[in-house]
Chains A and B, each alone.
Chain A
Amino acid sequence: MSIDETTAPVTGHGPWDADLHGWFGGEGAWGGRFMPEALVAALDELTVAWEQAMADPTFTDEFGASLREYAGLPSPLYHATRLSERVGCRVLLKREDLAHTGAHKIRNVLGQALLTKRMGKKRVIAETGAGQHGVASATAAAYYGLDCTVYMGAVDTRRQALNVARMRLLGAEVIPVETGSATLKDAINEAMRDWVANVDHTAYLFGTAAGPHPFPSMVRDFARGIGDEARAQCLEQYGALPDAVAACVGGGSNAIGLFAAFLDDADVAIYGFEAGGEGVDTPRHAAPIHAGESGVLHGARTYLMQDEDGQTIESHSISAGLDYPGVGPQHAWISASGRGQYLPVTDAEAMDALALLARTEGIIPAIESAHAVAGALKVAEELAAEKGPEATILVNLSGRGDKDMGTVMEYFGLGQEQGQDQGQDQGQEQESK
């Protein structure tokens, strides 16, 4: 298989895939479709359209072409040599940060927008947390000439004004959501409400591999070029599969896009890194697989953060993209089956990894991706001890860090002059006012 061909998507019906009703791991286990009857017809229509599209070379060719010619994919697989020296074995980075709009998310939205066009719908809606999926959706809508409305928690529109401006510049309407906690999960609720009312002419571009069937499988299929490319690149460049693959997990689209290609390779260990926030022993984290329990949220049975009554608990992560109280159901299945390990990485560990990658490799990753790097470095040290310098870990660097510079500046205190004491800093600040 040549690398150029690997971006063409495929869907499957193996043991790791969902059955016809969207159940992973057997009926009633994970996923499914816990949704209002009003949306069932639309979800069925989408399921049929997606399955037909995946089997139609006209669709897959056009999707592949948009990824190559517009999004700048496949992304390179890069041997991070200085980082590798540091941990004692080979660390490979799948450079999704180099894709158009700065993250893997462009794959999913180009796929879903093309499918929308194929279904004859003219309008797309999307939810967004920090704004990355919103920006990607607005981009794909502009590319395909679709109307676009993005729902974003009011708390997030204030925190991420730059991304709001980007979406508006790209022609999207951005609606701040004031209900509930006014964050990502409430933006999803509001987008679903819009969809119920406008389902005849509107498609919902869901931002992650979660939600009701077919979204977990469909989003995975559109994102799985990450893993298909990386697997082929690793074989071509190093003549062998990696010993382990690693990705950060929020809703889990970049992770499932990577893992999907390696699930059947029993010798490749799979690691997902959730947002440990201020620590999984505190209530302030976003690690539902590691520290949550099974339940139903946004249409799927999965692991989620909930209280004793099944009310959703607010998640916390320094990374807005991982700040979600649920997780895609295929990850729940991969974890429950024992095929993959899902471990928490704290805010502090992620920020240290971000700084380390910047200084050793000249790459500023998204804070989301820094969680993957932080977790992978721990695994790499174990691998090196066990298998020596030829051991290989492949990490998905899912996005670039430009969007996070505000958080990074604040966290490391980079905005101020260095080498002055606090009194002088304050004095300067007062003067400048």
Chain B
Amino acid sequence: MSTTATAYEQARAEGRAALVGYLPAGFPDHEGSIEAMKVMVDAGCDVIEIGLPYTDPVMDGPTVQAAAQQALEGGTRTADVLRTVEAVAATGVPTLVMTYWNPVERYGVEKFAASLGDAGGAGLITPDLTPDFAPEWIAAADAHDLDKVFLVSPSSTDERITMTTAACRGFVYATAVMGVTGARTTTSGLAGPLVERTKTLSAQPGLPVGVGLGVSTGAQAADVARFADGVIVGSAFVRTLLDAGSDRAAGLSALRTLTEDLARGVREV
């Protein structure tokens, strides 16, 4: 049973898109990241993605890279990420981990699935692991009743979209621009057609489609919400905390304002 899918269904029942918010664990520090994600939940995020900071994040732009590096320099370990999951999942909001593959492989795939489940985590988003190279993760996720969120891209072939959606649980993550993560002033024209193709080709007709990469304002969120089931926001949250620097209170206040703006956006359908 996927709590993530339930959150999407609830948003759909309310005639809106779900708001999915991302922050790396350990950024700005361990307690600070938990506090920030609780603010995001409180201000309207329906699903939380917790990033596992990694030394070689090839899909991330400068903003998320900087946050991940700060988290690693602050000593964030895989066990800390799991503790962060536990604290955020306790709010009742579905909490996924977004991670590059090697830290999971190193921890032990089966053991990671068990620990994530024990922490109350909903599942994993795997930006550098596609279903055709994921048999071990798929087996472990299924054994522990976890979501498997794989990505589709504008360059994905029809066959791969069908193959990918067949392997997903929770939702499928549509990367709507060809490029790394980062806020963009205009949302990509590739997003709408990709969502449409994904829905048409989906091996699971009801599988929600979340759209990621580039959204930073309520107006952009509203644009995306017109065609997507979920609006995924990451870099804009990270940017807000980076800009606030050491003034934690100001950072959290700005984070709340941004979340509220985005939450209004996903309701303007």
Instruction: Please state if B127 and A36 are interface contacts (CB–CB under 8 Å).
Output: yes
Contacts of B72 in A (CB 8 A): 311
A38 and chain B: residue at smallest CB distance: B153
The reply on B175 being an interface residue by CB < 8 A is yes
Q: Tell which of A113-121, A190-198, A264-272, A340-348 binds the partner.
A: A190-198
A278-313 Cβ-contact flags toward B at 8 Å (1 or 0): 000000000000000001111100000010111110
Instruction: Please state if B179 and A196 are interface contacts (CB–CB under 8 Å).
Output: yes
Q: Tell which of A27-35, A91-99, A228-236, A415-423 binds the partner.
A: A27-35
Contacts of B178 in A (CB 8 A): 38, 196-200
| B151–chain A nearest beta-carbon distance, Å | 5
Instruction: Please state if A34 and B101 are interface contacts (CB–CB under 8 Å).
Output: yes
Instruction: Please state if B180 and A197 are interface contacts (CB–CB under 8 Å).
Output: yes
Using a Cβ cutoff of 8 Å, how many contacts connect chains A and B? 112
| B189–chain A nearest beta-carbon distance, Å | 15
Contacts of B106 in A (CB 8 A): 295, 306, 308-310
Instruction: Please state if A36 and B77 are interface contacts (CB–CB under 8 Å).
Output: no
The reply on B62 being an interface residue by CB < 8 A is yes
Instruction: Please state if B164 and A309 are interface contacts (CB–CB under 8 Å).
Output: no
The reply on A40 being an interface residue by CB < 8 A is yes
Partner of B55, one of A37, A299, A308, A311: A311
Contacts of A179 in B (CB 8 A): 62, 65, 69
| A316–chain B nearest beta-carbon distance, Å | 16
A310 and chain B: residue at smallest CB distance: B106
Instruction: Please state if A196 and B180 are interface contacts (CB–CB under 8 Å).
Output: yes
The reply on B10 being an interface residue by CB < 8 A is no
List B residues 71-121 near A (Cβ within 8 Å): 72, 77-78, 101-107
| A297–chain B nearest beta-carbon distance, Å | 7
Instruction: Please state if B58 and A36 are interface contacts (CB–CB under 8 Å).
Output: yes
Give Cα distance in the complex from A28 to B134, angstroms.
Answer: 10
The reply on A220 being an interface residue by CB < 8 A is no
Instruction: Please state if B160 and A40 are interface contacts (CB–CB under 8 Å).
Output: yes
| B259–chain A nearest beta-carbon distance, Å | 27
Give Cα distance in the complex from A179 to B57, angstroms.
Answer: 11
List A residues 141-170 near B (Cβ within 8 Å): none
Instruction: Please state if B55 and A193 are interface contacts (CB–CB under 8 Å).
Output: no
A185 and chain B: residue at smallest CB distance: B56
Instruction: Please state if B105 and A41 are interface contacts (CB–CB under 8 Å).
Output: no
Contacts of A306 in B (CB 8 A): 102, 106
Give Cα distance in the complex from A285 to B240, angstroms.
Answer: 39
A46-80 Cβ-contact flags toward B at 8 Å (1 or 0): 00000000000000000000000000000000000
Instruction: Please state if B133 and A310 are interface contacts (CB–CB under 8 Å).
Output: no
The reply on A387 being an interface residue by CB < 8 A is no
Interface size class, chain B = 35 or more
The reply on B61 being an interface residue by CB < 8 A is yes
The reply on B22 being an interface residue by CB < 8 A is no
Contacts of A38 in B (CB 8 A): 59, 151, 153-155, 175, 178
Partner of A34, one of B57, B69, B129: B129
Contacts of B164 in A (CB 8 A): 37
Instruction: Please state if A180 and B132 are interface contacts (CB–CB under 8 Å).
Output: no
Q: Which of B55, B62, B151, B160 has the most CB of A within 10 A?
A: B55
Instruction: Please state if A41 and B155 are interface contacts (CB–CB under 8 Å).
Output: yes
Instruction: Please state if A298 and B56 are interface contacts (CB–CB under 8 Å).
Output: yes
The reply on A263 being an interface residue by CB < 8 A is no
| A75–chain B nearest beta-carbon distance, Å | 35
The reply on B70 being an interface residue by CB < 8 A is no
| A127–chain B nearest beta-carbon distance, Å | 12
Instruction: Please state if B59 and A296 are interface contacts (CB–CB under 8 Å).
Output: no
| A175–chain B nearest beta-carbon distance, Å | 13
List B residues 126-142 near A (Cβ within 8 Å): 127-130, 132-133, 135-136
Contacts of B257 in A (CB 8 A): none
Question: Given A296-B101, A308-B106, is A41 in contact with B58 using a C-beta cutoff of 8 Å?
Answer: no
Contacts of A309 in B (CB 8 A): 77-78, 103, 106-107
Instruction: Please state if B103 and A193 are interface contacts (CB–CB under 8 Å).
Output: no
The reply on A379 being an interface residue by CB < 8 A is no
B157 and chain A: residue at smallest CB distance: A41
Interface size class, chain A = 35 or more
Give Cα distance in the complex from A308 to B78, angstroms.
Answer: 9
Instruction: Please state if B179 and A34 are interface contacts (CB–CB under 8 Å).
Output: no
The reply on A355 being an interface residue by CB < 8 A is no
Contacts of A384 in B (CB 8 A): none
Q: Which of A34, A38, A306 has the most CB of B within 10 A?
A: A38
B174 and chain A: residue at smallest CB distance: A37
Give Cα distance in the complex from A179 to B94, angstroms.
Answer: 32
Contacts of A297 in B (CB 8 A): 56, 102
Question: Given A36-B128, A37-B156, A296-B105, is A193 in contact with B133 using a C-beta cutoff of 8 Å?
Answer: no
The reply on B150 being an interface residue by CB < 8 A is yes
B106 and chain A: residue at smallest CB distance: A310
The reply on B27 being an interface residue by CB < 8 A is no
A197 and chain B: residue at smallest CB distance: B179
Give Cα distance in the complex from A385 to B129, angstroms.
Answer: 50
Q: Which of B69, B101, B160 has the most CB of A within 10 A?
A: B101
| B175–chain A nearest beta-carbon distance, Å | 6
The reply on B152 being an interface residue by CB < 8 A is yes
Instruction: Please state if B58 and A192 are interface contacts (CB–CB under 8 Å).
Output: yes
List B residues 149-183 near A (Cβ within 8 Å): 150-157, 160, 164, 175, 178-180
A349-386 Cβ-contact flags toward B at 8 Å (1 or 0): 00000000000000000000000000000000000000
The reply on B54 being an interface residue by CB < 8 A is yes
Give Cα distance in the complex from A310 to B104, angstroms.
Answer: 8
Contacts of B58 in A (CB 8 A): 36, 189, 192-193, 196, 298
Give Cα distance in the complex from A37 to B135, angstroms.
Answer: 16
Contacts of A28 in B (CB 8 A): 135-136
Q: What are 16 A-B contacts defined by CB distance under 8 Å?
A: A34-B101, A34-B133, A35-B128, A38-B175, A40-B130, A41-B155, A41-B160, A42-B155, A180-B55, A192-B58, A196-B59, A196-B180, A309-B77, A310-B78, A310-B106, A310-B107
Chain A positions near chain B (C-beta within 8 angstroms): 21, 28, 32-42, 179-180, 185-186, 189, 192-193, 196-200, 295-299, 306, 308-312
Chain B positions near chain A (C-beta within 8 angstroms): 54-59, 61-62, 65, 69, 72, 77-78, 101-107, 127-130, 132-133, 135-136, 150-157, 160, 164, 175, 178-180
Beyond A196-B180, A310-B104, list 10 extra A-B contacts (CB 8 Å).
A28-B135, A41-B153, A192-B58, A199-B155, A295-B106, A296-B105, A297-B102, A309-B103, A310-B105, A312-B55
